[in-house]
Structure 1
């Protein structure tokens, strides 16, 4: 699906925009399921295993930061990952054997929906190699007003900046870090059905949603099957035990086959410990860990 030029751009810059990664029919179904889930959130009064609530949430005015693990909430999210243009981009960039790290549907509520402070995904889950990326499939049009993703090109080839504050892993960089060059940021807007791709090591973030519309982006974080997580990384798989871990690995296989011989590369690693007081999500880690905002 990707041209030679697109692959070269991604390798050099660490990000890519792919227009209309899914068909109109697939997009319609994804939106239908998502809005059904948003309706269900009206009956929820506190954050749970499915919905992470934003400040001001109520039955009359549902406000979410995200729907957790959408591929576990409805099988169609998994079908899209395994059988659509998304899959083609995945194998074009990571090869034939690929795994799902996690998924999330960030619904960033209108009128001030929470910002995601600048960070590198790699800081949360270092692996044996960095063949890792995230897709951001836009379920509605995304413009500059509703908190689009921003990236700093080329930072996937540089150092991993400190994501610690107050002695804990807060999941965000300090905006006064001399290696943080905000003036080089690129804003990624697009139409519903468009998809962004960003490398796990690239610096990225998103401002609050100041529009009157939800900013709905379906994120899939994926990696090559020969990239194995390091102990201490922020991943639920470490608490499973061997049998459940094996079953979980098979459940998260997207394409190809599992790999039991991790590929070891010389990559920068800092283990994301100790955790913030509330490390249940990036929003909670940044808030409870005392991360400084670059969007204030």
Structure 2
């Protein structure tokens, strides 16, 4: 019996591969997230290259900070860390999966007003396939998000389709060549909502998004979760961290196996550090580059 989601919302997720839940995060929490995120933008003025905390836009300068991503923000500030265990997030995932929930990692993707970079079509599953597909990314909308300021776009139902090729010239690039894709990108839907809304998208759903050409920032805190019995096919595992990241349910030593399509993210990308860097090797693009 769902506790956070309605039966209709569960059905929508199973059909479309994504869901938006309005007003999931309180105005007080959103105000705190906005303030802390602004502090990180100010801190990014002190760096000129990517760091373990900051992923920078190509045109970033100390005078005009253009922060593209905060990496694993829950490591750097307790406000972000608190969101990892938000009861509405965990409750919604339990409604979808009916299992215990394990936390993976997070990132805070920024699309600065008038610049924020596009992100080419991709499937998260291409980066980290597991023994089963009960994996999802939860996005906390720190700002109002709409088509004007670079909302993420998802191809509905693509989570039930093939795993697209994310390579170019034999190298994993973290993006789909739109000239070779099987998906129909014309059917993509923008994932929009007011600040405080959360989105949930399936690990196999095809998604991407345009540059932000509006006068408003788009800050989107993305948290990755798995079912407790979903085990990675490739990642090296720190056992203590693995167990500590179990947020609800019981630990299991028996992975749940499903017959699923898998493409491994190999050979490794030429440019590492983030998906934005991975995608530098893509030769064909769907979205236009960021503007200054």
TM-score scaled by structure 2? 0.93
Match of 1:283 among 265, 268, 276: 276
Partner in structure 1 of residue 10 of structure 2: 7
Partner in structure 1 of residue 265 of structure 2: 272
SS of the aligned residue for 1:205 comes to: strand
Q: Does the CA contact (< 8 Å) of 1:170 and 1:291 recur in 2?
A: no
Q: Does the CA contact (< 8 Å) of 1:172 and 1:291 recur in 2?
A: no
Structure 1 residue 266: Cα displacement: 0.3
The unaligned stretches of length 5 or more in structure 1 are none
Counterpart check, 1:261 vs 2:264: no
Q: Alignment length, in residue pairs? A: 285
Partner in structure 2 of residue 148 of structure 1: 151
Counterpart check, 1:110 vs 2:110: no
Partner in structure 1 of residue 193 of structure 2: 190
Q: Does the CA contact (< 8 Å) of 2:228 and 2:250 recur in 1?
A: yes
Aligned residue runs from structure 1 range 174-213, under 5 A: 174-213=177-216
Q: Does the CA contact (< 8 Å) of 1:171 and 1:291 recur in 2?
A: no
Counterpart check, 1:39 vs 2:32: no
Aligned residue runs from structure 1 range 58-207, under 5 A: 58-207=61-210
Match of 1:293 among 277, 285, 291: 285
Structure 1 residue 159: Cα displacement: 0.7
Q: Does the CA contact (< 8 Å) of 2:146 and 2:190 recur in 1?
A: no
TM-score scaled by structure 1? 0.92
Structure 1 residue 102: Cα displacement: 1.5
The superposition leaves residues 235-256 of structure 1 with CA deviations (integer Å, 9 ceiling, x where unpaired) of: 4xx1x6xxxx111113322222
Q: Does the CA contact (< 8 Å) of 1:139 and 1:218 recur in 2?
A: yes
Aligned alpha-carbon RMSD (Å) = 1.4
**Deviates most, 247-256 or 156-165:** 247-256
Q: Does the CA contact (< 8 Å) of 1:120 and 1:202 recur in 2?
A: yes
The superposition leaves residues 162-213 of structure 1 with CA deviations (integer Å, 9 ceiling, x where unpaired) of: 1110110111111012512011111111110111111000111011111122
Q: Does the CA contact (< 8 Å) of 1:100 and 1:254 recur in 2?
A: yes
Distance 2:158 2:117 in 1: 24
Alpha carbons of 1:251 and 1:73: their partners in 2 closer, same or farther (altered >3 Å)?
A: farther
Partner in structure 2 of residue 214 of structure 1: 217
Q: Does the CA contact (< 8 Å) of 1:173 and 1:291 recur in 2?
A: no
Q: Does the CA contact (< 8 Å) of 2:228 and 2:252 recur in 1?
A: yes
The superposition leaves residues 17-43 of structure 1 with CA deviations (integer Å, 9 ceiling, x where unpaired) of: 100111111111222221121111111
Distance 2:227 2:131 in 1: 11
Structure 1 residue 257: Cα displacement: 3.1
**Deviates most, 202-211 or 169-178:** 169-178
Distance 1:126 1:291 in 2: 25
Distance 2:8 2:180 in 1: 33
The superposition leaves residues 260-280 of structure 1 with CA deviations (integer Å, 9 ceiling, x where unpaired) of: 110010010111100111122
Distance 1:212 1:252 in 2: 38
Q: Does the CA contact (< 8 Å) of 1:22 and 1:84 recur in 2?
A: no
The unaligned stretches of length 5 or more in structure 2 are none
Q: Does the CA contact (< 8 Å) of 2:175 and 2:282 recur in 1?
A: no
